Amino acid sequence: MANRSLTPVNKTLSLALAQSRPKLRLAGRSFLAFVLEPWAPVSDWLADLDAVAHQSFAFFANRAVVLDLSALRPDKAEAEALLAALRARSIRVIAVEGVPADLVGPSLSPLATGVASAKIIEFPGGETRESESEATAAPAAAAPASMVLDKPVRSGQSVYFPDGDVTVIGSVSSGAEVIAGGSIHIYGALRGRAVAGATGDGNARIVCRRYHAELVAIDGNYMTAEENAQKLIGKPVHIRLQGGSLLTQVLE
């Protein structure tokens, strides 16, 4: 019997299928990952974590989390117990840093610290001489320094803008969140969560017209609804960071 794969018709069909197949794409993407830094005793740290999760329901749901163990320096059993405790709280740890590579096993590889974890990989055949690269590179468009939302942020919605300030012409509902690399300005009520300075800007501010927040944070320093002073509720409020603590002020 003749080998059908060698016939001209099948050769043409195979070539057509190969040409229609999409090319392999390797794209970069930025996303927000919260960094948790546990301290000893771990039981007290977990209790504080539970308090935040209780006051801000589903705050860690479907959130990528990096676990920094450099301050805790656990042994293998302690690290595995901590990871199990976080899994029981539905907290997804995507990577661990601050520990030896063999501490948490191959399923969860430690990261290098901060920006040093980003690498550029050259693929075979993709090398370009520096002069050619500079001559053919298109000028990069300037990234916008602010985002303006002209609609309310509704429950279940999440807005993340790492490059600057976010202004909401409306309210942020309970169960919604706005996360900005810079400051956050809300012209309506803040009933959900506002996280400013998320990329390390300690000078970021949070300003809202009516304050009912579930959680506010600037550069990792946070305040939950349970900690809200009664004098702030329903008032126009300005929040900034001073000496490692959040300073709140009612705007008259």
Per-residue pLDDT of the chain (252 residues; tens, 9 = 90+): 444 444 555 666 666 655 666 766 666 566 677 788 899 999 999 998 888 777 665 677 777 888 899 888 888 889 889 989 998 888 888 888 888 877 777 767 677 555 444 333 344 444 444 444 444 444 555 566 889 999 999 998 889 898 899 999 999 999 899 999 999 999 999 999 999 998 889 999 999 999 999 999 999 888 888 888 899 999 999 999 998 889 999 997
- Running DSSP on this structure, what letter comes out for residue 205? -
Question: Can the peptide bond before residue 41 be classed as cis, meaning omega within 30 degrees of 0?
Answer: yes
* 220 vs 244: CA distance, rounded Å: 9
* 153 vs 167: CA distance, rounded Å: 11
Q: pTM score, two decimals?
A: 0.61
Cα angle, residue 62 at apex, residues 60 and 66 outer, rounded to 5°: 65
* 22 vs 149: CA distance, rounded Å: 36
* 154 vs 171: CA distance, rounded Å: 8
Query: Which pLDDT belongs to residue 133?
Result: 44
User: SS3 of 188, please?
Assistant: strand
* 185 vs 171: CA distance, rounded Å: 10
Residue 122: Cβ within 10 Å count: 8
Query: Which pLDDT belongs to residue 209?
Result: 96
The residues near 78 (Cβ < 8 Å, ≥ 6 apart) are: 42, 72
Residue 152: Cβ within 10 Å count: 17
Sign of CA dihedral 134, 137, 138, 144: negative
Burial 40-56 (b: 16+ CB within 10 A, else e): eebeebbeebeeebebb
**CB–CB of 177/166 below 8 Å?**
no
- Running DSSP on this structure, what letter comes out for residue 129? -
